[in-house]
Amino acid sequence: MSVLIPVMIVVLTVVAMEGFAYSVHRWIMHGPLGWGWHKSHHEETHGPFEKNDLYAVVFAVISILLFAIGSAWWPWLWWVAVGASVYGVIYFVVHDGLVHQRWPFRYVPKRGYFRRLYQAHRLHHAVEGRDDCVSFGFVYAPPVDDLKAQLKSSGVLAKRQSKHRDAWRADRPED
């Protein structure tokens, strides 16, 4: 097998994984079947782990199985496992590290692609609950203005502003 074919398989797998991750995040994690685990990711975390981290374990097991099957029977599948693992590392660094600050230090990007990715995922978390969320990808981030427009048209931002205004009023003593 020439070196070009494995490299192409790895790159194509990384690209395809973003579509797979979007789909799993949108329709499974935010759906009735997967929300039980994923809900912890949308709530305040106490400690270094959350129930949502079980998804990483599931995907790691799938990668290990792909490596084993690829080693035994289909070598091209081994390279698919490499691509899936590369995507997992990208996910860990970008999503868990950059966006959710699960690193031992804090860095908020000021401009460019990483700023857009950071903002897009923060807008994903602007919604309480599993419905009306935006931006389900982990590496691709739609334009932030488009996401804000989506949230505004769904009425989520108005509900959120009203809730915060009511909470602010409840905290103020009577004049």
Q: What confidence category does residue 162 fall into, taking pLDDT thresholds of 50, 70 and 90?
A: low
Nearest alpha-carbon partner for 80 in 156, 124, 17, 173: 17
Mean pLDDT on 19-46: 89
CA 23 to chain centre: 11
Total-model pTM? 0.79
- Domain limits at 91? 4-171
CA separation, residue 39 to residues 25, 31, 87, 129, 157 (Å): 12, 10, 23, 8, 20
pLDDT given for residue 163 in this prediction: 57
- Please check whether residue 111 is in contact with residue 83, taking contact to mean a CB–CB distance below 8 angstroms: no
Confidence of residue 41 (pLDDT cuts 50, 70, 90): confident
Dihedral sign computed on CA atoms, order 54, 133, 83, 86: negative
Q: Any idea how long the chain is? A: 175
pLDDT tens readout for residues 101-148: 777 778 888 999 989 988 998 888 888 877 888 888 888 888 888 888
Q: How far is CA 170 from CA 29, 39, 156, 173, 174, in A?
A: 34, 27, 21, 8, 9
Position 171 scores a pLDDT of: 52
Please, what is the average pLDDT of the chain?
84
Q: How many domains does the chain have?
A: 1
